[in-house]
Structure 1
Amino acid sequence: MRLESRWNSLSAGNQAPAALNGSAFTNLLFATLARCQDNAVPMLERVKFPSYVLWPASEMDEETQSPTAERNKSFLEEVNFPEPGIINLDMIRSSYLEEGQHGETRRLHQLEPVILERIKTLRLEFKNILRIDHLWVLPNLTKLCLNCNKIEVIEHIGMLTALKELNLSFNYITKIENLETLVNLEVLSLFGNRITRIENLEALDKLVILSIGNNLINVLDGIDRLRFVNSLKVLNLEGNPIAKLPDFPLSQYVTAILPQLNYYEYVFIKDEARDAAQKRFYRELREIEAKQEKEIHDRETEARERAEAERLASSFVEHLDRQQLYETMWRADDDGRVLMLIGAPAQELAEDYEKDVYELTQKIYKLGLERFNERDADIKDFLSCLEEGRQEFQSLGQKHIEEFMQYRDKTFEEASVILRELETCEENGPEHVQLCEAMDTTNAQFDEALNELWQNLMAQELHLHEAIEESTLNFEHRFTRLMSSFVEESQLYFLQLRHVCEHFSESMTDAVSRFISDKLAQHDLDSVPQPLRICIDDRESLLNLVDAMKATHIARIEEREDRMADRSKEFITNYVEKLNKEEIERHRAKILEINSFMEMMRKAIANLPEEIHAELLLQQE
């Protein structure tokens, strides 16, 4: 009744639009059900049942004295009040085996081994859990229910990156934390906790529903941060101290500052209500927008840079578009920094060195983008050809099935006539024997046609599978040649980078030698930097410094070269493996589809006599 009245109250007072699309209606219904469920638990907790309320006092005294009553009492205590503890593997396995199964299905389900990687949903409700742990064994978990426990800290769930729904309602949580890595989270319920402020939710880019009612939130700070969660459509803050402030309509404030929101407290936000709210909180909205303007710009810039980095990573020339390689060459190069202490001569050489390195890295960068466009076009052509081939075979198979379905309709019509005559004729009579023979002939012909269809469809599918495998192999060879050509061309530029490094090292040797010679001639050894004084009387020390600098720079160049070569090989291997895996999955699914169709046709003709018999009985009635 509460659910019905709740739904009626939502739809009666013009709180919902006249017409909702499928997605909006689903979200509203889901939110309404969740709210009713959330409110049910505290209502039940307020109901106090006296011990042994079902027994009269005279019978109660007698029952409580018996050993059976003591055993029942301990059993009930164990069921209703489990010992407080931490999530462990045994709890995970037992909850999975008990979930959603009944009768024989449950018995068979419990006989199967528990493969933790396959668990998608886990419900650990009313378990008296104090602490979250051991969930790292469930990498593919998409729904986790931990409501109605005694959890105080959100922890040890950061590795559940596939999680889409998380229910932590009715616990003792005081702070929202450790959710940043749950990038696929869509539904988050923190209803009925002890949270004092909204925080640490900006990273949840896919969050759609947030229920955080009946907490201790007493400040507005943090609500404005939800503006960065563009996917947020449903928010519930009812029952918090800020929702009870006199002369402050929290619903209007939320409606004004969160333009992406569609429902607040499970009530649809109308356009006129949003306009009125934005007019009332115009000043607050402007202040929030001004404060977040720079952050929004920074986030957009970061998103563009991230997208560009992904594009460059696909072309294997990431971090080569500016001076990144040159900067890494000097990073942790203490010997080179010592040589640079001679001042202007070294600085001039370094500037020329930087210019030469930049020119060569730009050539590698442009080459990578050019080859990436060629590879991308080649991949698109290949995938287009694959899709055309699949569509062609799909059309051919569909044609065979349509022809068979026409034959099936005709055969079933003839068989229906024969079966109706069999129902009316005398059993074991001459006519009955002839009709049975005719029915056997019809069944045999249908089975033969079905087998012929199966052979045609399977032959087409096998031919398509082999053609795709061969095309993928040819694509791999062609793609490998393209990648090898790119790597070889880039290696020529890396070779020139090494020559530039060697030339710079030789120039630095001459510059430092002249610097020391000038200081010796001027008898001004005190102006020689302390780290270079060892080179005054020992040229070998100078050569060692230069060689160490050159080795460091060349090592950075070779690391970048090896990284490009290795990643290009990995890309080919991974992409071809992905193509083969997708084709194997498609091939298996198609075979299952064909066999399922055959089985359906066999069942259809096998069930035809029963259907005709039932139809005749209905006509007689």
Structure 2
Amino acid sequence: MNRIYKTMEPSVVDEQMLQKAVEEQGPQDQAGRIAKEEGIQYHEVIQLRLDYRNILKIDHLWEFTSLTKLQLHNNLIEKIQGLEKLINLEWLENMDPLKNLQIFSLGNNLISQLDNVIYLRKFKNLRTLNLAGNPVCKEENYTIFVAAYISDLVYLDFRPLDEQTRQKAFTQYQYAIEEMRHNDLQEQRATEAQKNNEEELQLHKDAFVEHLNGSHLFDSMYADDAEAAKLAYLPGVATLLESYQTQLVALCVQIFEVGLTQHTCRQNEMDAFFTGFQDAVADNQQRGAEIAADFERSRRQVMAGMQQAANNRLEARISNYRDEITQLCHTLMTLELQLVGQLEDITKDFERNISDMVGGFIEYVQGLFVQCRDLENHHHEKLLEIAVATLEKVAKNELEEDLPDDVRLLFVDKDTAVSAVSASHDTHLLKIDNREDELMTRINSWMTALIKSIHDEEIKRNRKRISEIHNYVDYVREQLEELHLQEHQ
């Protein structure tokens, strides 16, 4: 392989290489400086050239999700990998006969295994593939294999795939491809199921009630309870635990269901607020734009008239026009002030509504957690009764059940037995308290952050609008002063 860069050290695609490539191939001059200051967003990059860089391994490209053209030819790549996130990849080549075909070029690398080609089936829109100059091209079944696994391919190494080649590929690899497609379908279904589960869990987290739609809280209480496994051997405890779990799970499900319902209500309230907020801003902007447009039309007429006016009348016109500019500034500022007041009223109503919703939800959930603690206290009392009764039977040697030695050690005296039951009880109450505290803390933090973000965004909008008004007013004043200065020269 003839390489003009033999002296370069082999490399991998890393952050430093990508940053340099994006900066070199991105906007230049002032636009480039601005982009560099604001930070280049990889997910916005459309095209990227990584050719002639002695790359051994493709990596670190997962952020380039908008990439449509990627050039990796003339490197040292041995394996096609790391492209899963590039769902938009479609290098559109502008040369006949490949015009407007989706093409991927990895020519002149070190790809040597036919199995690498199977990876490329992930790109459903791939129509043209260039692997020319790679060792894999010398494999006996190279063309047939590629045609079989990338069935929609039109051109391979810049040559068309004829129907005879396609038919031969289908016949030779039919069963292998069917098995692969079956496995792909299974994998896709598993991926979709995982995605659905993750989305569902995220919804539950957004409602602050994740893992409360089942026995998670109950299980966590006993997972960290060192005495629970021992106490479970006592007569009657299994039945007691089953009843306790059923009732506790029912309370958790109540919290879960009301959490989802309240989340929907909060979301509807937020949607209504932001819609009203944006409508108010849009209406105000429209009115401001109309005022500015009317003034701009008038300004051009006035400026034209001033240029033709006699000197003795020009000063008066300039003075009047200065007053009109001042009035424009006052009008636009008044309009903005009205909007600020309107948005304050809308925001206060929203804050009151969302605060009432959160407060009502918290109050209701606190009541259910109280019931959880009452249930735990009742369970504790019953378990204590069983432990004391067991202690008496052990003391009288009347216990019929055969208890393990470590369980019998709990009943050497009353204090030991009571301590074991109390320790179990304390562990359970702590779990319940922590779950309640977590829910309350998170929803209050969410509400505080939401309201703060609304106020912060409004401050930014207001400052930006005032700056726009001042910039425009300054501009028309400068135009007037330039005209005034020209007339006195």
Alignment of 1:324-403 (within 5 A): 324-342=216-234, 345-403=236-294
Q: Which runs of structure 2 are paired with 1:123-522 in the superposition (5 Å)?
A: 142-143=41-42, 169-176=51-58, 182=63, 186=67, 190-202=72-84, 212-221=106-115, 223-225=117-119, 237-243=131-137, 245-246=139-140, 248-249=142-143, 252=147, 255-256=150-151, 280-281=169-170, 283=174, 285-342=177-234, 345-415=236-306, 417-418=308-309, 435-515=310-390, 517-518=392-393
Aligned to 1:19: none
In the TM superposition, residue 361 of structure 1 has moved relative to its aligned partner by 0.7
Q: Deviations for 1:55-103, whole angstroms, at most 9, x for unmatched residues?
A: xxxxxxxxxxxxxxxxxxxxxxxxxx99x9xx999xx99x999x9877x
C-alpha distance in 2, partners of 1:235/1:308? 39
Q: Could you tell me how far 1:405 is from its partner in structure 2?
A: 2.7
For 2:200, the aligned partner's letter is: E
**Secondary structure of 2:227's aligned partner:** helix
- How far 1:305 moved relative to its partner? 1.4
Partners of 2:470 and 2:45 in 1: how far apart?
Answer: 35
Counterpart residue number, 1:30: none
Return closer, same or farther for 1:246/1:457 CA change in 2, 3 Å cut-off.
Answer: farther
| Superposition TM-score, scaled by structure 2 size | 0.77
Does the C-alpha gap of structure 1 residues 233 and 546 become closer, same or farther in structure 2, counting only changes over 3 Å? Answer: farther
CA 1:611/1:116 → structure 2, altered by over 3 Å: closer, same or farther? closer
Aligned to 2:39: 120
Alpha-carbon distance between aligned partners in 2 of 1:388 and 1:176, rounded to the nearest angstrom: 47
Gapped runs of 5+ residues in structure 1? 1-41, 49-80, 110-114, 122-141, 144-160, 419-434, 613-621
CA deviations 1:140-183 (Å, max 9, x no partner) are xx35xxxxxxxxxxxxxxxxx99988765544554445666x48
Residue identity matched to 1:300:
E
Report the Cα offset of residue 368 of structure 1: 0.8
Identify if the C-alpha distance between structure 1 residues 234 and 332 changes in structure 2 by more than 3 Å, giving closer, same or farther: farther
Matched residue of 2:232: which SS?
A: helix
Q: Which amino acid aligns with 2:266?
A: R
Report deviation, 1:526. Answer: 9.5
- In the TM superposition, residue 444 of structure 1 has moved relative to its aligned partner by 3.2
Q: Offset at 1:254?
A: 6.4
Distance 1:516 1:257 in 2: 78
Instruction: Give the whole-Å Cα distance in 2 for the aligned partners of 1:201 and 1:96.
Output: 21
Asked if the contact 1:330–1:336 (Cα under 8 Å) also holds between the matched residues in 2, the reply is: yes
Native 8 Å contact 1:257 1:285 kept in 2: no
Q: Report SS of the residue matched to 2:233.
A: helix
Greater alpha carbon shift after TM alignment, 468-477 vs 527-536: 468-477
Shift in CA distance, 323/191, structure 1 to aligned 2, threshold 3 Å:
farther
Give the partner amino acid of 2:115: D
SS of equivalent to 2:108? coil
Contact 1:206 1:231 in 2 (8 A): no
Question: Shift in Å at residue 246 of structure 1?
Answer: 5.0
Q: What residue number does 1:150 align with?
A: none
Q: Which amino acid aligns with 2:39?
A: K
1:29 aligns with: none
CA distance in 1, matches of 2:220, 2:123: 36
Aligned residues with identical type, % of pairs: 23
- Which of 457, 466, 485 aligns to 1:591? It is 466
5+ long unaligned stretches in structure 2: 92-103
Task: State the shift of 1:370 in Å.
Answer: 1.6
User: Letter of the aligned partner of 1:499 in structure 2?
Assistant: D
Q: Match for 2:471: what amino acid?
A: S
Residues 13-162 of structure 1: pairs in structure 2 closer than 5 A: 45=5, 118=37, 120-121=39-40, 142-143=41-42
State the Cα distance separating 1:365 from its structure 2 match. Answer: 0.8
Task: Give the Cα separation in 2 of the matches to 1:234 and 1:483.
Answer: 57
> Counterpart of 1:400 in structure 2: which amino acid?
I
Q: Partners in 1 of 2:122 and 2:458 — Cα distance?
A: 40
> Is the 1:201–1:226 Cα contact (8 Å) retained in structure 2?
no
SS at match of 2:236: helix
Instruction: Identify if the C-alpha distance between structure 1 residues 183 and 450 changes in structure 2 by more than 3 Å, giving closer, same or farther.
Output: same
Kept in 1: contact 2:114–2:142 (CA 8 A): no
